[in-house]
Chains A and B, each alone.
Chain A
């Protein structure tokens, strides 16, 4: 059980670690970004027609429970073995349930009296949504994005089986060759990326919600 520092140095210099990092990050950002857009659209539908909430959470809930390897396998005949779509359709699917729940809960969690006062002052419904409900739902939405992003970083390590790069390549190859260093580097880097993204989102939330940071010094 020794670490092959030479392998690490070589791969850093050759750029393969850097390339894997870029691929991994790209897959994560695309999946969470697309997931956010789709979730947002579905959440708007839920907020407008509350009856759609049950079927939407039911379908996304099922997607969420399908084992990821099975889902990749299922998508291969549709998009092909090494297509980015095979990876992304699966990854996006896993973000939906968490994101929709948090967006809907965030918007619904805005106190009624705040909405009523806004309406009473003559804001249009559109303005109430954009200027009042959405900003106030931001902490809940970002909380959802954090969970979705961390989950996605983990799942992207599996997309190697449908021909996508990322840290999964190190893990898969390391295990196959019984080469501990390579598997460990892939694993630790994935964990590190998850932590960095999570902390980054916390920071973003603080910057975006200054009102929630200051409380009653008076």
Chain B
């Protein structure tokens, strides 16, 4: 656990404090994102945790220990640190870079070697890259090395300062997802600074929104912040598409699904017509037990048994863990104006615009 209490930082010569008086508790195993406009003191706050920047006053504890009571270089060896420009040592190979902290800690050679091999795999690098120099890697690969290096000595806490800010958007999204997965597996406490609200709500299990001068405006679960911004500042910072962003965080399984206009292929054409009438639609979905076969338009339903019809595919099938934002997109782009949800065990139900809208306003 990381605890900040009344932490203040005034840089020499500055008129206003960078961080006025910040108190924040980060429970063990949480992924906390610090987000805010430039000048909000998010990076300063992060760097005070590993004493790259010394606080003017206040207390910072990591794992119950006051950081000011530990020699800075010893403290830092127990805290992973990743920065935007990565900061790999250009004159050291990938392998030597990853081994930096274990070497400082004096691990025996074979233990370091085994750990490096493990990490290279963990962050998704190729083994033949171990002998390369940083300049021979792409930006995304460099940041993977940066993450591996931070994890090398298995620190309980990871500090990350806009770690994916310097790579292009596609690679960034990839790295974000991979890192979130890695975090789930490793259970580290992560403090992650970003200026990108989308990244903050997507990555964090908790989001701390900071205003100029390190004023904590809101500190909560991302869904909660998007649903109930605590202040005008937070609402403005979250921006126009707050509802959509919130949908991006909620899984389809959190919505109440309806069975929708579906009939089993064993039913007769008259039953199919009855279902369409009840739902006021001109198509019907066909089920074979739990299996969703597709849909047929009303015009094709005559006297032929349903089993002999050729159903059209639903172009987008949602899974329960897809986001509601994706579901909304599926709904508005589909011919039938519904999103069908199919899980491992078969057809689960449908949702329409109304269902999604209810989740936004909830």
Q: Say if the beta carbon of A214 comes within 8 Å of chain B.
A: yes
Partner among A121, A210, A216 whose Cβ is within 8 Å of the Cβ of B101 = A121
- Contact A116–B83 (Cβ < 8 Å): yes
Give the contacting residue for B137; candidates A114, A121, A218; CB below 8 A.
A218
Q: Is the CB of B83 within 8 A of A117?
A: yes
Give chain B nearest CB distance to A102 CB in angstroms.
Answer: 18
Partner of A211, one of B73, B90, B101: B90
A215-B136, A216-B136 are known contacts. Are A122 and B88 too (CB-CB below 8 A)?
Answer: no
Question: Which residue in chain B gives the minimum CB-CB distance to A131?
Answer: B89
- Whether A124 is near chain B, meaning CB under 8 Å from some CB there, is yes
Q: Judging by beta carbons under 8 Å apart, are A119 and B52 in contact? A: yes
Q: Does B91 contact A (CB under 8 A)?
A: yes
- How big is the A interface, by class? 20 to 34
- Judged by a CB distance under 8 angstroms, whether A34 is at the interface is no
Cα of A214 to Cα of B134 in the assembled complex, Å: 10
Q: A121-B100, A122-B74, A211-B133 are in contact. Are A135 and B91 (CB under 8 A)?
A: yes
Q: Does A177 contact B (CB under 8 A)?
A: no
Any B CB within 8 A of the CB of A209: yes
Is residue A77 within 8 Å, beta carbon to beta carbon, of the partner chain?
no
- Verify B136–A114 contact, CB threshold 8 A: no
Partner of A113 from B75, B85, B92 at Cβ < 8 Å: B85
For B91, list chain A residues within 8 Å (CB). 132, 135-136, 209, 211-212
- Contacting B at CB under 8 A, from A111-127, are 111, 113-124
Kindly identify, within residues 173 to 218 of chain A, every residue whose CB is under 8 Å from any CB belonging to chain B: 209-212, 214-218
Q: Which residues of B contact A113 (CB under 8 A)?
A: 83-87
A122–B90 Cα distance when bound, in Å, is 18
Does the CB pair B136–A120 fall under 8 Å? no
Q: Is B15 an interface residue (CB 8 A)?
A: no
Q: B132 near A: Cβ within 8 Å?
A: yes
Partner of A116, one of B52, B74, B101: B52
Minimum Cβ distance to chain B for residue A126 (Å): 10
Q: Across the interface, name the chain B residue whose C-beta is closest to A138.
A: B91
The residues of B that contact A218 with a CB separation of less than 8 Å are: 132, 136-138
- Of A122, A135, A216, the residue contacting B76 (CB under 8 A) is A122
- Most B CB atoms within 10 A — which of A114, A115, A210, A216? A114
B347 within 8 A of A: no
Q: Are A120 and B133 in contact (CB under 8 A)?
A: no
Complex alpha-carbon distance, A216 and B92, angstroms:
15
8 Å CB contacts to B: which residues of A69-112?
Answer: 111
Cβ < 8 Å to A, chain B residues 61-80: 73-78
Complex CA–CA separation, A120 to B74 (angstroms): 10
A176 vs B77: C-alpha distance when bound (angstroms): 70
A122 with B135: CB separation less than 8 A: no
Q: A114 to B135, Cβ gap below 8 A?
A: no
Q: Mark B98-133, 1 if CB is under 8 A from A, else 0.
A: 001100100000000000000000000000000011
Q: Among A111, A115, A123, A209, point to the contact of B104 (Cβ < 8 A).
A: A123
Inter-chain contacts of B159 with A (CB < 8 A): 120
**Is B295 positioned at the interface, with any CB of A under 8 Å from its CB?**
no
B149 within 8 A of A: yes
Proximity string of chain B (208-243) to chain A, C-beta cutoff 8 Å, 1 when within and 0 when not: 000000000000000000000000000000000000
Shortest B72–chain A CB gap in Å is: 8
Knowing A113-B83, A114-B87 touch, does A121 contact B77 (C-beta < 8 A)?
Answer: yes
B192: Cβ under 8 A from any A Cβ: no
B residues near A120, Cβ cutoff 8 Å: 50, 52, 76, 81, 83, 87, 159
Q: What's the Cα separation between A214 and B99 when bound, in Å?
A: 21
Residue of B nearest to A119 (CB): B52
In the complex, are the beta carbons of A214 and B135 less than 8 A apart? yes
B104 touches A122 (CB 8 A): yes
A111 touches B85 (CB 8 A): yes
Chain A residue with minimal CB distance to B93? A211
Tell me whether B136 and A118 are in contact (CB under 8 A): no
- Taken together as a complex, chains A and B put the C-alpha atoms of A215 and B138 apart, in Å, by 11
Q: How far is the CB of B241 from chain A (nearest CB, A)?
A: 33
How close is A151's CB to chain B, nearest CB, in angstroms?
A: 28
Q: What are 24 A-B interface contacts by the 8 Å CB criterion?
A: A111-B87, A113-B83, A114-B87, A115-B87, A116-B83, A117-B86, A117-B146, A118-B89, A120-B50, A121-B76, A121-B104, A122-B74, A122-B75, A122-B104, A123-B100, A124-B73, A132-B91, A209-B91, A211-B135, A214-B132, A215-B135, A215-B136, A217-B136, A218-B132
Given contacts A117-B87, A216-B135, 8 further A-B contacts (CB under 8 A): A117-B146, A119-B52, A120-B50, A120-B159, A132-B89, A211-B91, A214-B132, A214-B136
